[in-house]
Amino acid sequence: MNPKNSSTDSPTINPETWVDHYGDYLYRFALSRVRDPSAAEDLVQETFLAALSARKNFASRSSEKTWFTGVLKHKIVDHFRKKAKEPSGDNIISGTEALDNLFDQKGQWKIKPAKWDADPMKLYEQREFMKVLNDCLSGLSSRMASVFILREMIGKTTEEICKVLDISATNCWVILHRARGYLRYCLEINWFTSISTED
């Protein structure tokens, strides 16, 4: 057995290697969701501290990377929970005024969006695409971005999101619908249109 591999097979063996092996990955994961370098750093530190305390509970049913990612996801949810309690001038339509001109009075697209043939998972792995996505997320209000990230990037259910952000299910769905619409509009202009032009 490779000694190097054996030192990373279980978090109970050598916690000193965690930062070197997973620090960059966890930081990128956190940054793509909280969009704040300082907060991302804090979340990664909290993840390692939590993992250090809970390492005896790790039963090797998943890889270390998966285990750390799961811990980090919980920390990110806590981050959004704390942010939701802070005073904010957000409302569900903030940052999405451009959408109002895209739909008719019946809520139908005036001009249907182009068909996307790209594989979402492959796009997600592209740094250039993630930069554009983060720029588009910046166009949303804090509340809208939080709902979208918790749902689409963390994988929380509507019920869980409502508990974290203290909102109703109806409000959650309205926010999510408008966030998805705005992001589709923004990505089509700033990513897919530019790609088709280059082709």
Name the CATH topology of 97-198. Arc Repressor Mutant, subunit A (1.10.10)
- Residue 103 φ/ψ, nearest 5 degrees: -115, 150
pTM value?
0.68
Of 57-66, 154-163, 170-179, 182-191, minimum mean pLDDT range: 57-66
What is the tens place of the pLDDT at every residue in 116-156? 565 665 655 577 788 888 889 988 888 899 999 999 999 99
So what CATH class is 3-85? mainly alpha
Matching residue, tokens 């720029």: 135
Which alpha helices (H) appear in the chain, and where do they start and end?
A: 3-6, 18-34, 37-54, 64-85, 120-124, 127-137, 142-148, 158-165, 169-187, 193-198
CA–CA gap between residue 90 and residue 93 (Å, rounded): 8
Largest Cα separation within the chain, whole Å, is: 66
CA–CA gap between residue 93 and residue 194 (Å, rounded): 27
Q: CATH 1.10.1740.10 in the chain, residues?
A: 3-85
Angle between helices 64-85 and 37-54 (to 10 degrees): 120
- Residue 109 φ/ψ, nearest 5 degrees: -60, 130
What is the tens place of the pLDDT at every residue in 84-112? 887 665 544 444 555 555 566 666 666 56
